[in-house]
Every structure is written in C-alpha cells, then in structure tokens.
C-alpha cells in the first residue's frame, strides 16, 4: 500500500516571506519537502518521489537513500530491505510495522498511534543506518557515486516509470492470434512427424518420443532421464535434423513469446501504457534492472522476438519513438581498460572491431571476414572476457578443443594487452578484495580466496566481467543524466521512456526530432572519457520495432 501523504497539492504561494509556524502543517511539510537546503535521508527515494509527485508535491534535498547506499557498500546482498540492513549493520531487530513504515508501505491516516510510532521508529532507523553508511561510503570512495550518479538517476527513473510507454492493444492481439496459429500448426506437424499425439509440454512424454521411439542420440542425463532443455534440443536438431525437433522447437519458441506478450498485456495500465519499475540495487554489477513487467528481456536476436517491440508505440502528441544505443560498448571498454594498442587504433580508425579481430585471427583481409567468422571472434572476445575456457569455446563454436586452443592463442598473441589485463584484473582483485569500474564502483569478492574451488572460480569469472559490465552500466547512467538535463535545459517536451542496458528509448515531441537526435547522440558519446570513441546508433519510427536498427 502507498503511504497516505497529503492528498491535495499545496497552494503555490510564496512561503519564504512568512515564518514557517504561521503556515498550515500541510503547507509547512510541502515547503520542507521541496527545500533543497533541508537535508533528508530516506529508504526508497524513487518510490517516495513517485508517491509525492502523484500528490503534487516536490522532493528535494535527499542526501541518502539507504536502499542504495547499502547496495553500493555491498552490491552482492540478496535484498536491501530496511529490517535486514538494520539487523546486519546495526545489529537491531525492528518490528514488521516499523520496517513497513520505513519502506513507505504503511498506510497512515493521522489518527493511528501505532502507525505513528512505527513511522517515528522507522525514521530513527533510517537515520542511524545512513549515519553508519556515511563512513562506509567514504572508506569505499562511493560517496560521489551515490550523490552524483545513483540519486540523480533515481529521479530520472521515477520520471520514466511515471511516463510509461504506450501499447497498441490491437497489434498485441494480432500478434497473439498469429502466435496461436503458429503454435497450433507446429503442434500438428510435430504429431504428423511421429504419427501420433503427444503432450509437447511434458518432458516425460518427450523423452519417450525422442529416445525410445525415435532412438535419437541421448542428451545429458538428469534425475528424471535425459534432458530436453532448449540447448540440448538445438544440438540434437543439428545432429539429426529430425522434423519432430524442428516443430517442437518452433512450438516452444512461439509459446514462450505468447506467454511474454500475455504477461505484458496484463500489465497495461488504465492509461493504455506499460509502466515498468526499475531497480538500481538488484544487479550486483551496477546495471539497472526492470520488473513488473521486465522490459529488458524481450528477445532481440530473433525476428519473432524483435517483432514484439512493435506493440510499443508512440502516443498522441508525439512524433515518433527514438532508439539510441551504444555500438559495441563492452568491447570499447575492454579496449580502454586493457590499453591494447591494436584494439584502440582499430576503434580510432572507425573499424568494425569484430571484423578487424577476425581479420587478424583468420589471417584474411577485413573485407573477406565472413559473418560466420565475425560471429566466431565476437563470441570468443566476449567469452574470454567472461572467463571462457578453451573447452567452453569449443562447445560454443562447435569446434575441437585443439582448434579452440589455437584460436585463443592466436587471439592473445595478437592482442597481448587484453590477456595481461584479464590476468591482472583477477590478481588485483585478489589483493584488493574487490573489482572496480572506471568510475570506481566496487564489487567485493571474498570468495576469490576461498578454499572451495567452485566458489573461487566463480568469483574469478565475476572479477573478469564486473569491471566491463559495470563500467558500461555507469556510462549509460551518466548518459541518462545528460540526456535528461539537456532535454530540460533546451525546454524540449520529448522524454525518455526506457533503458535497456545499452539502449535508450525516447518519445519525441512534434517538431523536436532533429534536436533530440543531436542531443542524445552528443550526451551519450560524451558520457565517458575513454581512449576510444563511443559510437551511438539512432533509429526512429512509430514503434520501438521500427525505431530499432
Ligand atoms: N554478448 C556476449 N556474447 C556474445 C555476443 C554478445 O556476451 N557472443 C554480449 C556482450 C555484448 C552484448 O551482448 C551485445 O551484443 P552484440 O550487440 O551482439 O555485440 P556487439 O559487440 O555490439 O556486436 P555488433 O557490432 O555485432 O552489434
Ligand atoms: Mg551491438
């Protein structure tokens, strides 16, 4: 439940000429809330902003959000609920009502003494936590991340959540109908391929069909027989080309998309828009996550998945949607962090990096790098950054382990600084106890020195990848702040709607397209000072799909 804040907006009168005690309590509260000189600490800044905005109130002067400072200190915690933070850091147990009050989940009508007590207690807990975190943040050099990045980003995210994105319900229903047809057809043809009906959703029945009836090669053994997960079916299909598998996979793919669209449909609000909720303290790398519904996991690699973006559309009064995304941001960060002269030069020359690396590894001119070669080296480049072994690479590229080992060796011979960087990053993290992004966002990895090999190796993979993914997250957050501020500074009506990792989606007001395009490109490119340029790709159109590129 939302907190019961004063329900009407305060009169926009000048409060400064009157001493505060002459004002009505509600007006006094409103004045205090919007006073940037009156410092406030809070647990859940974004939620408070939204609740207050809905009641016509402004909130300024927030110097700490303990749900975020707690995260910056320990980004790997499972939750940052007030009760848990209080228990862990202050060693105090707080009653459920206090926790609810602190998280703005308590309804309060002004006459309920118990609720009032809970609110007062909650305020004391949040303040105590914030005081405790002050030193912790300083020690970890995270004060600036909090004050100049995360808190301002909360404000931008609150606006984006409130705005939401318009949905074309007819298109949504059309897609659902199309998918229903695809699903039926795939099922029919799957039945035809084996000569009888079977429940395609039952792993047990599928095992009987695949391994008893059709006698296909066995997949990985699991408790209940042999696995029929997506990856195994894919490799089984590649081995056998069996029609039943073709249809089964088409069926699954379509069923998954249908489920996704159905859940999107359920989350369309009364205003015809979907309002996701972003979280800044869920992904330990620093990435923003999206929930209820998750708008960051709509498939992008398949045309069918991309098509789902067609249901997100521009709304009345606006000209188009604009999608802007960073090109190869992770590889650019890798080039920057490793300082590899070859990679940096390639980016400075405006080369397509994966093509460039492909040409170096396969010893052919860049224009003879096929798309198969390109995707191989791409998988390898990212794989290595994420701790992939030659065994893992051989599986991924479906080549022998020897071949994979040779590829890796060639890669590292050519891009030696990358190898040194990747090695160094883990060694350094072992010494420091944490990894850091370009902006200094830390991730503590105590398991790096664990005696448990599995825990240790997992921590090593995290150490490899966190600086890269985390730096990308910092950069897009800086870009969001720049875009938001610049839209305001130029007095534009266009607004940011979505953030999907390396992509921003904006709704462009009539006549503002050129200005917005220029502004977004400029702000995104300027969001970090790397030794390689940041490149931004822009697309516009009536839907998110059409704006894609
Ligand atoms: N990714 C990965 N492994 C891959 C491919 C991608 O981990 N084999 C991750 C890291 C980059 C991110 O997904 C975005 O993917 P792409 O856009 O495919 O990568 P890119 O470097 O931007 O390449 P391209 O120029 O083809 O877009
Ligand atoms: Mg890309």
Is the pLDDT at 345 greater than 70? The verdict is yes
Residue 206 maps to a domain: yes
Q: Pairing state of beta strands 289-291 and 225-226?
A: unpaired
Instruction: Give the whole-angstrom CA distance, residue 461 versus residue 464.
Output: 5
Domain boundary residue, one of 162, 186, 213: 162
Same domain assignment for residues 425 and 340: yes
DSSP lists the bridge partners of residue 49 as none
Same domain assignment for residues 50 and 182: no
For residue 13, the model assigns a pLDDT of 46
Is the pLDDT at 19 greater than 70? The verdict is no
Q: What is the pTM of this model?
A: 0.91
More confident residue, 230 or 336: 336
Q: How confident is the model at residue 224 (pLDDT cuts 50, 70, 90)?
A: confident
Residue 191 maps to a domain: yes
Residue 144 maps to a domain: yes
The residue contributing the CA closest to ligand 1 atom 23 is 328
Same domain assignment for residues 377 and 392: yes
Same domain assignment for residues 342 and 361: yes
Domain boundary residue, one of 466, 501, 521: 466
Residue 223 maps to a domain: yes
State the angle between helix axes of 401-414 and 371-385 in degrees (0 to 180), rounded to the nearest 10: 80
Distance 411 CA to ligand 2 centre (A): 21
Average pLDDT (157-166) is 98
Share of the chain above pLDDT 90, in %: 79
Residue 280 maps to a domain: no
Average pLDDT (232-239) is 89
For residue 111, the model assigns a pLDDT of 80
Query: Taking the CB of residue 111, how many other CB atoms lie within 10 A of it?
Result: 7
427 neighbors 60 (Cβ within 8 angstroms):
no
Distance 258 CA to ligand 2 centre (A): 26
Residue 216 maps to a domain: yes
Share of the chain above pLDDT 70, in %: 96
183 neighbors 94 (Cβ within 8 angstroms):
no
Instruction: Give the whole-angstrom CA distance, residue 143 versus residue 63.
Output: 10
Same domain assignment for residues 101 and 118: yes
How many residues does this entry show for the chain? 549
Average pLDDT (509-519) is 98
Average pLDDT (374-386) is 88
Q: What is the dihedral of CA 265, 267, 271, 275, to 10 degrees?
A: -130
- The count of structural domains within the chain is 4
Instruction: Give the whole-angstrom CA distance, residue 509 versus residue 487.
Output: 11
Is the pLDDT at 264 greater than 70? The verdict is yes
For residue 262, the model assigns a pLDDT of 97
Query: What pLDDT, in 10s, does the model give residues 162-176?
Result: 999 999 999 999 999
Integer angstrom CA distances of residue 114 from 7, 84, 106, 121: 21, 22, 11, 11
For residue 1, the model assigns a pLDDT of 35
Instruction: Give the whole-angstrom CA distance, residue 252 versus residue 230.
Output: 9
Average pLDDT (518-541) is 97
Average pLDDT (347-375) is 92
Same domain assignment for residues 323 and 370: no
Closest to 324 measured CA to CA, from 534, 165, 158, 160 = 534
Where is average pLDDT lowest: 231-240, 447-456, 526-535?
231-240
Residue 24 belongs to domain spanning:
15-162
Ligand 1 cavity residues, CB under 6 Å: 327-328, 330-331, 354, 378-379, 382
Residue 369 maps to a domain: yes
Q: How confident is the model at residue 14 (pLDDT cuts 50, 70, 90)?
A: very low
- Residue 468, token pair as written in the block: 């890269």
Element (H, E) at 455: helix 453-489
Where is average pLDDT lowest: 126-140, 173-187, 218-232?
218-232
Instruction: Give the whole-angstrom CA distance, residue 105 versus residue 101.
Output: 6
Is the pLDDT at 340 greater than 70? The verdict is yes
- Residue 399, token pair as written in the block: 């080549």
Average pLDDT (195-217) is 93
Q: What is the dihedral of CA 96, 97, 102, 107, to 10 degrees?
A: 140
Same domain assignment for residues 185 and 133: no
Instruction: Give the whole-angstrom CA distance, residue 9 versus residue 107.
Output: 19
Same domain assignment for residues 143 and 244: no
Distance 475 CA to ligand 2 centre (A): 16
Q: How confident is the model at residue 16 (pLDDT cuts 50, 70, 90)?
A: low
- What is the average pLDDT score of the chain? 93
Same domain assignment for residues 197 and 63: no
Integer angstrom CA distances of residue 302 from 137, 295, 329, 383: 43, 16, 21, 21
Integer angstrom CA distances of residue 234 from 185, 186, 220, 298, 375: 20, 16, 13, 20, 18
Atom of ligand 1 nearest to the CA of 396: 8
CATH of the domain at 509: 3.30.70.370
The residue contributing the CA closest to ligand 1 atom 22 is 328
Query: What pLDDT, in 10s, does the model give residues 29-47?
Result: 999 999 999 999 999 999 9
CATH of the domain at 256: 1.20.1060.10
The residue contributing the CA closest to ligand 1 atom 25 is 328
Within 324-415, residue ranges assigned H as helices are 329-338, 341-348, 353-362, 371-385, 390-397, 401-414
- Whose tokens are 């991309």? That residue is 306
Distance 162 CA to ligand 2 centre (A): 29
Average pLDDT (292-302) is 94
Residue 89 maps to a domain: yes
DSSP lists the bridge partners of residue 36 as none
Element (H, E) at 65: strand 62-65
Q: Of the residues 330, 331, 549, which should be mutated to test ligand 1's pocket, given the most ligand atoms within 8 Å of the CB?
A: 330
Distance 273 CA to ligand 1 centre (A): 30
Same domain assignment for residues 323 and 335: no
Query: What pLDDT, in 10s, does the model give residues 456-465?
Result: 999 999 999 9
- Whose tokens are 């009407």? That residue is 8
Same domain assignment for residues 94 and 32: yes
Q: How confident is the model at residue 335 (pLDDT cuts 50, 70, 90)?
A: very high
Which range has the top average pLDDT, 11-15, 78-82, 375-379, 384-388?
Answer: 78-82
CATH of the domain at 140: 3.30.420.10
323 neighbors 300 (Cβ within 8 angstroms):
no
Same domain assignment for residues 184 and 91: no
For residue 526, the model assigns a pLDDT of 98
Is the pLDDT at 18 greater than 70? The verdict is no
418 neighbors 384 (Cβ within 8 angstroms):
yes
For residue 6, the model assigns a pLDDT of 37
- Please tell me whether the peptide bond between 287 and the residue prior to it is cis, using omega within 30 degrees of 0: no
Query: What pLDDT, in 10s, does the model give residues 92-143?
Result: 999 999 999 999 888 877 788 899 999 999 999 999 999 999 999 999 999 9
Ligand with smallest separation from the Cα of 383: 1
Backbone dihedral angles phi then psi of residue 467, each to the nearest 5 degrees: -60, -35
Domain boundary residue, one of 144, 162, 180: 162
């Amino acid at each position: 439940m939302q907190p019961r804040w004063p329900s009407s907006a305060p009169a926009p009168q000048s409060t400064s000429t009157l001493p505060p005690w002459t004002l009505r309590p509600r007006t006094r509260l409103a004045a205090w809330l919007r006073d940037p000189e009156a410092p406030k600490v809070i647990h859940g800044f974004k939620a408070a902003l939204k609740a207050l905005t809905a009641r016509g109130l402004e909130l300024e002067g927030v110097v700490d959000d303990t749900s975020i400072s707690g995260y910056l200190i320990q980004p790997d915690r499972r939750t940052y609920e007030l009760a848990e933070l209080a228990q862990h850091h202050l060693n105090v147990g707080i009653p459920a009502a206090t926790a609810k009050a602190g998280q703005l989940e308590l309804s309060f009508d002004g006459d309920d003494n118990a609720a009032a007590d809970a609110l007062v207690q909650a305020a004391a807990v949040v303040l105590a936590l914030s005081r405790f975190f002050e030193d912790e943040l300083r020690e970890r050099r995270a004060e600036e991340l909090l004050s100049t990045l995360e808190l301002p980003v909360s404000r931008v995210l609150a606006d984006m959540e409130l705005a939401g994105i318009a949905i074309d319900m007819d298109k949504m229903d059309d897609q659902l109908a199309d998918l229903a047809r695809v699903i039926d057809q795939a099922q029919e043809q799957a039945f035809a391929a084996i000569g009888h009906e079977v429940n395609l959703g039952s792993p047990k029945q599928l095992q009987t069909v695949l391994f008893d009836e059709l006698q296909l090669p066995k997949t990985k053994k699991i408790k209940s027989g042999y696995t029929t997960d997506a990856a195994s079916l894919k490799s089984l299909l590649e081995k056998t080309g069996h029609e039943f598998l073709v249809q089964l996979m088409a069926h699954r793919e379509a069923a998954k998309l249908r489920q996704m669209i159905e859940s999107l449909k359920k989350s369309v609000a009364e205003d015809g828009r979907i309002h996701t909720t972003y979280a800044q303290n869920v992904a330990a790398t620093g990435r923003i996550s999206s929930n209820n519904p998750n708008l960051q996991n709509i498939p992008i690699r398949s045309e069918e998945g991309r098509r789902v973006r067609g249901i997100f559309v521009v709304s009345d009064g606006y000209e188009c949607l604009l999608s802007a995304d960073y090109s190869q941001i992770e590889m650019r960060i890798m080039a920057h962090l490793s300082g590899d002269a070859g990679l940096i030069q390639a980016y400075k020359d405006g080369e397509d990096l994966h093509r460039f690396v492909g040409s170096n590894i396969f010893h052919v001119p860049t224009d003879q790098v096929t798309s198969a070669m390109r995707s191989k080296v791409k998988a390898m480049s990212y794989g290595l950054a994420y701790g992939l072994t030659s065994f893992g690479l051989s599986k991924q590229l479906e080549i022998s382990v020897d071949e994979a080992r040779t590829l890796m060796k060639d890669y590292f011979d050519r891009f030696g600084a990358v190898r040194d960087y990747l090695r160094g990053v883990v060694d350094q993290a072992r010494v420091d106890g944490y990894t850091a992004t370009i902006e200094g966002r830390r991730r503590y990895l105590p398991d790096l020195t664990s005696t448990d090999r599995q825990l240790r190796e997992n921590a090593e993979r995290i150490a490899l990848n966190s600086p890269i993914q985390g730096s990308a997250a910092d950069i897009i957050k800086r870009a969001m702040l720049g875009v938001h501020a610049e839209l305001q500074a130029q007095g534009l009506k266009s607004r940011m709607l979505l953030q999907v990792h390396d992509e921003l989606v904006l709704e462009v007001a009539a006549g503002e397209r050129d200005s917005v395009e220029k502004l977004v490109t400029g702000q995104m490119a300027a969001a970090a000072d790397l030794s390689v340029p940041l490149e931004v790709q822009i697309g516009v159109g009536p839907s998110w799909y059409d704006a894609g590129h």
